[in-house]
Structure formats: structure tokens, C-alpha cells
Amino acid sequence: MDILKIAEKTVKEHNMLNTGDRVLVGLSGGADSTALLYVLLSLKEKYNLEIGCCHVNHQLRHTADRDMNFCKDLCERLGVKFFSLTKDIKTGANDAGMSEELFARNVRYEFFESLGYDKIATAHNKNDVAETLVFNFMRGASTRGLSG
């Protein structure tokens, strides 16, 4: 079974999309989020989706601007709305007394939610799920909250 069939089956089994949904993809420019964008584009017609992408330039890596430009160019080529935010995560995290990872995560999700889409789609692999579990544990989540 190919990835598109697996994705469509998963969407259907878990009732992840409704006809006419406006879906915002968190696009980093990496393989996971780029693949997610292509999967959602393959489902666009079937579900009558409006798809947009957003990218947060955290200014942490020397490739940050290049990653943002890749995302912008990809969206232009695919005819997908693109939103971006540039934020100095290192300074913001220091000022807030938070880890860079947690501060960056908060910035991303505040930005995603400010754009007013029905659904937010982010690509996660097994390592990302483990990271979420650790974040939840460190924040003092109960056993119910210890999930990725």
C-alpha cells in the first residue's frame, strides 16, 4: 500500500477531515512537513479543502532564511497560500525564562491559531512524539496527559 492510500485510510478511520475544511500546514521545509503538504494536496479535491501553509523562522540555524525561502517558493509553485513569521527565539526564550524548544513551540502554535483555519496539520515522526511526551512530563502532566 502506498503512502497516499495509507494517509487516506487513516484520515477516514479517524474522521480527521470534513468536506470544506480549511487546513493550515505547519511547513518547516523538511521532508516530513513537505510530504504532509503533498498528501493533503492529493486529498484536496476529494474533501474540497482550502490549504494554506505557514512557516516560523526561529533564527536558530544558519539555514533558517534558506528554509523559509524554500517554503515560500514551494507554496508559490503549488499555488498554496503562504504565511510566515520571523522570531528571535533565543532572545525571546531567554527573556521569558523558558527553554528555546518550549518558547518556539508556543510561538508556533500561537501563530498557527492566529491564522483562523479550521484544522492545523503538523508532521510528526516517532522522535517528535517522544519529545512531546517529555514536554508534557516536564510540565507536570498527569498520567492522562502523558501522551504524544
- Dihedrals φ, ψ of 116, to 5°? 75, 25
Predicted model pTM: 0.82
Cell of 11: 484520515
pLDDT tens string for the chain (148 positions)? 588 899 899 999 999 999 999 999 999 999 999 999 999 999 999 999 999 999 999 999 999 999 999 999 999 999 999 999 999 999 999 999 999 999 999 999 999 999 999 999 998 755 554 455 455 554 555 445 444 4
For cell 497560500, name the residue: 81
Are residues 75 and 81 in contact, defined by beta-carbon separation less than 8 angstroms? Answer: yes
